[in-house]
Amino acid sequence: MSLKLFDLGQKRALVAGSSLGIGFARAKGLVAAGAEVVLNGRDTDKLATAATALRQSGTTVHVLPFDATDHAGLRATIHVDGGTTASL
């Protein structure tokens, strides 16, 4: 699928809840538009499966497991992982 009018090349997006369902569909759409994605969720096995599926398109996919409802944990994760999340 080509989304020339919605080009997200050179962009990185964090997608919460992206291991299944609507979150995975959003991540897939962002990848189709050229974005590099950071998948987020609590289940590392499901995130790994989702990442493998999205990497088949040749895009860069990162996995950042944490509970998005835990604000302190979120801040700590993003602070520690400055490389992947630096340009979010």
**Closest among 41, 39, 42, 43 to 52, alpha carbons compared:** 39
Q: What confidence score (pLDDT) does residue 38 get? A: 92
Cα Rg of the chain (Å, integer)? 13
Select the more confidently predicted residue: 47 or 77. Answer: 47
Average of per-residue pLDDT across 5-14: 87
Residue 2 has pLDDT above 60, yes or no: no
Q: What confidence score (pLDDT) does residue 17 get? A: 93
Residue 85 has pLDDT above 90, yes or no: no
d(CA 73, CA 58) in angstroms, rounded, equals: 30
Could you give all domains of the chain from N- to C-terminal order, each with its CATH number?
A: 8-79 (3.40.50.720)
Q: What confidence score (pLDDT) does residue 1 get? A: 53
56: its two tokens: 């088949």
Residue 75 has pLDDT above 90, yes or no: no
